[in-house]
Structure 1
């Protein structure tokens, strides 16, 4: 009998740390699709399934409370195409995010793995592309990384919130098989009441840029673009700042500027400069109308792009939307983000669809 009591006490003692630890795993995602029309892609108009108001993904995130304000955390997230069920990147099980880390209420968060870059994470929520739900209001070929941009082999630190300020830095190690060239970036964001703002700087070596397939360029930095449509830049440096202000419960205004230095392998550097501005109006608790525009220059090309969207919420998780966006270019063909280049200097796209979050 005494032996049985000792075994029971030992078993209960061993289980105490596990019983006290609080852990959770959450399944979440975004699914959406639309019917899209584009006036000119490679010389012809197209109608296709065009995606939702945000990229489609499914993910798992979790945390275990280690005590003393410290948590172990992880995230696994895969981008998907709801038009055909395919993954965002062939061969990648978790193409958007795959990281583990530690989070402390006193010292901040440290994560390791495949992650969003600093520019995308701090600047994107303040941009026209995000606030209007129009992908084509991200800038040409996403050279400034305002749209979804991921890096492998990355170590990221995010500070705790201090009087509205957050500091973030990330370093991505180079890898000849998955990520030639290293990445380094850092930024500061501020959030206090109606005002949000961020400034970031990043640099990457040996970045592949699809200047032919995404911008229609046949020449860059004095050299022809290869038949593949892509070049490998010796370095790409990005400096960007955006600000967003909620005037009241109805109106929001925003603006920003980015500059990108693209150094070709022959040492020639071309700059992309982009300024944007936009506004949103909530006409009812369920309805949001947004507009935005940007002007961008890159090498000898100039782009003027403007868009308008209306998103109506059927519930907290489900909405229907409609949008239209137009670009006029000079010195090159029109080429809006995520679309094939036009054969002329103009391009128009329109979308109507459904978005669901879970």
Structure 2
């Protein structure tokens, strides 16, 4: 009898161990905070329309790479035959005050479920990044050099600041270094099949130290579908892309805030990198367009724009490990925007430098500096002001931001 109990106990233990091996749930997260110095940040405007500003010292949440404070749950269950069920729930929050990120969404960074097949690839459904994040972002200044300093307002989306709701995404297995994927988000608009829809394609190739990728995204009614994807977003009467500011508030994303009435939003992007030893070089190019301006069902049009506004961006980045624990990075970004309806154009030059020191595999301290110089006329019909991503715009055509911070991963 005792032997029977012993054998039964061993079987239960083995079965439990087998079940545990077949499924897993991982708790993970990042805490990223730092102190910023900005030489010029808008505070509002005067009755005559001129902008006010002042220097600023403040603490803000994560601004390095695709970090930003978060915690998440990632799970997988082995279904047999090389097939697994997977899910990710990822919450963004502000370490400075504990507030929810992404407009107050509980799992605003990512929330999806899907199937992963060794033979066929991965299909996921829910709120997730578009295919540019999978195939092109790694070649942008934002990711390669671990810097905050994407294009102004992250106009080409390579800075991971926007997600796609209700998205169905497919990513293939890697075939001899080649991977491809696509994504579709139905708009759900009654009587208008294409209204608010988003679709995207992407592909990448890797061989030894060389890699390259390309992507395309098409969003209808971007003020609602792409920029209006958070709980605090408004309807067609609200500008979810930015603001013109007021006597007591700063502008937001003046580079494209005037284009909320766009019917279509397209991004073509491509990039490449080469790693040699402890260093890496990368470059990227993107073409962004806000088309068919003047559609009031998509968003407000206070400047009566029509036609198409375009932005072309080129970036170059270098990063290297000076020592096993010290990484240096630098980059240059040039963005040129063609104004809509003959309203002029604007250009943005931006230089970036960063230093990261790794105290361990999970903890680092860092410094970065970003300088931007703008010229021409921006989407608000004013002399273009500097508009460093994630920061309050300047009241002038130039702006410098310096940041010291710490990142801890778990």
1:352 is paired with a residue whose SS is strand
How far off its partner does 1:231 sit?
1.7
1: CA distance, partners of 2:320 / 2:84: 39
1: CA distance, partners of 2:170 / 2:58: 40
Counterparts in 2 of 1:25-174, with a 5 A limit? 25-42=25-42, 43-52=53-62, 53=64, 54-135=67-148, 137-148=149-160, 149-174=162-187
Alignment partner of 1:210 out of 223, 242, 245: 242
1:120 is paired with a residue whose SS is helix
Answer whether contact 1:214 1:337 (CA < 8 A) is retained.
Answer: no
1: CA distance, partners of 2:142 / 2:164: 21
TM-score by length of 1: 0.88
After superposition, give the CA deviation of every residue in 1:46-74 in whole Å (9 maximum; x if it has no partner): 11113332222110000000000000000
Q: Please, which runs of 5 or more residues in structure 1 have no aligned partner?
A: 1-7
Structure 2 residue 276 is matched with structure 1 residue 237? no
2: CA distance, partners of 1:258 / 1:265: 24
In structure 1, the partner of 2:387 is: 335
1: CA distance, partners of 2:252 / 2:215: 25
Answer whether contact 2:284 2:316 (CA < 8 A) is retained.
Answer: yes
Q: Please, which runs of 5 or more residues in structure 2 have no aligned partner?
A: 1-7, 43-52, 224-240, 245-250, 296-305, 340-344, 377-383
Answer whether contact 2:24 2:77 (CA < 8 A) is retained.
Answer: yes
Counterparts in 2 of 1:219-298, with a 5 A limit? 225=258, 231-248=260-277, 250-263=278-291, 264-265=293-294, 267-298=306-337
After superposition, give the CA deviation of every residue in 1:289-326 in whole Å (9 maximum; x if it has no partner): 00001110112110000010000000000001011110
Of stretches 277-286 and 202-211 in structure 1, the one that deviates more from structure 2 is: 202-211
1: CA distance, partners of 2:403 / 2:189: 39
1: CA distance, partners of 2:174 / 2:356: 31
2: CA distance, partners of 1:44 / 1:23: 54
1: CA distance, partners of 2:39 / 2:146: 20
In structure 2, the partner of 1:3 is: none
Kindly report the root-mean-square deviation, in angstroms, between the aligned alpha carbons of the 2 structures: 2.5
- The aligned length equals 337
In structure 2, the partner of 1:315 is: 360
Of stretches 42-51 and 70-79 in structure 1, the one that deviates more from structure 2 is: 42-51
Q: Which has the higher strand share?
A: 1
1:233 is paired with a residue whose SS is coil
